[in-house]
Structure 1
Amino acid sequence: MTVTVRDLRPDDRADVESFAHVRHLALPHILWTPDAIVHRLAHTHPDARFRSLVAEEDGEVIGSAQVQLAYDSPEPGQGMLNIYVRPDRTHRGAGTLLVRASEEHLTAHGATKLLAWVLDEPANRAFAERHGYRASRSAHFLRLDLTGKTLPPLQSPPPGIELRSAADFGDDPRPLFELDAETTSDEPSDVETEFTDYETWVEENWKHPLLDRELTTVAFVKGRPAAFSVAWTDPATGRYATAMTGTARAHRGRGLAKLTKNASLHRARAAGYTTALTGNDVGNQPMLAINKWFGYEICASEVRYVRELG
């Protein structure tokens, strides 16, 4: 049996579905759909040098990798590789081949610091360490059963606060872009991010196939977006995911993030979604507290591993 690595074939639906299947088996806490995978491959900014790779054994896709430069970070030379192998197809060399191909691609484009998320399990961590990576920060995956009774009651907005959906932005989502740029730059992370390119944001985020504009909820203060909770949905599986929740700096401490997320979760449940997913850096204690209040439970954790190249 021979394992080989190649690029994903975005025009081959079966190939993309196999990639999505591997990702779902290895990391079921994130929404993986063929349309979303193709969208990311087609619409990520060219400066990211983004690639999707598959490891194939005798015609069967058993491993996957998504590889890119952190093009939107003010710190140059950072490359990211996230590699997942089917849990029932490990110890065949697929992971090592994907690491090698990913590192070669990133270093060829100037990366001097490599970062990878690794599931917080002994075998996965040992694999990363064998390849010269050291552990950095951690994050949690969280899950909420929307069919249960843990969701807090729906709250009415206080005076002066209006809740709207992202669908109200129509073809001019720039105010939402500005809010996203401010809140994302303040998120705990070992990769600083700056959203400065509106057109790229529109292509990568506003037009993302998983984005549910009706369920994405925005709190307005004096006619301007002040907080939001971004919803991604997969109707085929009944799963809803919070892609981002944040509040503008001038409006923090007023409970607006909790207000928008609560409204979005209630609307998701009313629309028939049964499972809510999200993720938080362990350093984001305010958001972890909010999610605990909603009834989310930690279902898995991951560790960022880093390799500095000399």
Structure 2
Amino acid sequence: MTVIVRDLRPQDPADVENFTRARHLALPHVLWTPAGVIHRTLHTDPAAHYRSLVAEEDGEVIGTAQLGLAHDSPEAGQGYLNIYVRPDRVRRGAGDLLVRTAEEHLAAHGATRLFSWVLDEPHNRAFAERHGYRAGRSAHFLRLDLRNGTLPPRRPLPPGVELRTAADFAHDPRPFFELDAETTLDEPSDVDTEFTDYEVWVEENWKHPLLDHALTTIALVDGRPAAFSAAHTDGTGRYATAMTGTARAFRGRGLAKLAKNDSLHRARAAGCTEALTGNDAGNEPMLAINKWFGYEIRATEVRHVRELS
């Protein structure tokens, strides 16, 4: 049995499908679709030096990696590599080869600090530590049963507040970009993110094939975008919250909860049967909101970091 690591072939539908399936088997708490994998591989800003890798054993894809530089961070030299091996194909050397290939690529492009999400399970954490990574912050994967669960009822909107969808901004998404950029600055993370290039944001986020414009809700206050809940869907009934946030001037008024509740109601009406989301373990306000909706924690990841000499 021989394991090799190579780049994903985005023009090969079978290769993309195998990558997607391997990712889903390893991390079922996230939406993985061939269209999403292709989009990220082909349309991530070139400054990220992004790569999608596969570990292949005798023609079978058994592991995957997504890696790049944090090009939208104000601090240079920060890279990321997220490695996942199929649970039924571990201990065959795929993870080791993926890590080595990813680290060599990132170091060659100036990375000095590497971040990696690792499932909070003993063998995964031991693997990360063995490769020189130390544990940091945690994040939870959460799930809500839309088919059998009970959503909080819709409530009357406060004076001056209206709810719109991303589709209403199709002619000019810049106001949505500005809201996303402001809220992302305050998102808990080891790596600060700044959306400063509108055209890059449009290509990477607005045009992302999973972004459901009809289910993404934006709350406006006196006509100004104030809060939003961005929705991803995969066409099979699965829905995921990509981001929920409120502009600083409008926080403390329950607008994010209004926007997310509206999006979830729209999703259920559209036939979605389960809702997924993720939260930093220290983001207690958002965790409380999701508990209010009925989300339950299904798994946890731990962010690991390694300093390169």
- Tell me if TM exceeds 0.5: yes
Confirm or deny: 8 A CA contact 1:155 1:262 kept in the other structure: no
Aligned to 1:122: 122
| Unaligned segments of structure 2, at least 5 residues | none
Q: Deviations over 1:244-292 (max 9, x none)?
A: 0000000000000000000000110011100000000012111111000
Q: Deviations over 1:142-187 (max 9, x none)?
A: 0000012331112221111000000000131000000000000101
Aligned to 2:72: 72
Deviation larger for 128-137 or 149-158: 149-158
Residue 213 of structure 1 aligns to a residue whose secondary structure is coil
Percentage identity across paired residues of the two chains: 78
Query: How far apart, CA to CA, are the structure 2 residues paired with 1:233 and 1:64?
Result: 22
Residue 157 of structure 2 aligns to a residue whose secondary structure is coil
Confirm or deny: 8 A CA contact 1:47 1:71 kept in the other structure: yes
Residue 71 of structure 1 aligns to a residue whose secondary structure is coil
List, as ranges, runs of 4+ consecutive aligned residues in structure 1 with deviation greater than 6 Å: none
| Unaligned segments of structure 1, at least 5 residues | none
- Tell me which amino acid in the other structure corresponds to 1:92: R
Aligned to 1:301: 300
- Tell me which amino acid in the other structure corresponds to 1:89: R
C-alpha displacement of 1:92: 0.2
Aligned to 1:273: 272
Q: How does 1:143-292 map to 2 (within 5 A)?
A: 143-235=143-235, 237-292=236-291
Normalising by structure 1, we get a TM-score of 0.99
C-alpha displacement of 1:222: 1.3
Query: How far apart, CA to CA, are the structure 2 residues paired with 1:15 and 1:149?
Result: 37
Confirm or deny: 8 A CA contact 1:155 1:263 kept in the other structure: no
Query: How far apart, CA to CA, are the structure 2 residues paired with 1:239 and 1:56?
Result: 28
Confirm or deny: 8 A CA contact 1:228 1:260 kept in the other structure: yes
Aligned to 1:19: 19
1:142 aligns with 2:142: yes
- Tell me which amino acid in the other structure corresponds to 2:58: D
Aligned to 1:46: 46
Query: How far apart, CA to CA, are the structure 1 residues paired with 2:130 and 2:97?
Result: 14
The count of aligned residue pairs is: 309
Residue 306 of structure 1 aligns to a residue whose secondary structure is strand
Query: How far apart, CA to CA, are the structure 1 residues paired with 2:156 and 2:167?
Result: 20
Aligned to 2:30: 30
- Tell me which amino acid in the other structure corresponds to 1:58: D
Aligned to 1:93: 93
Q: Deviations over 1:177-224 (max 9, x none)?
A: 000000001011000000000000000000000000000000001111
CA RMSD of aligned residues (A): 0.6
Residue 10 of structure 2 aligns to a residue whose secondary structure is coil
C-alpha displacement of 1:31: 0.3
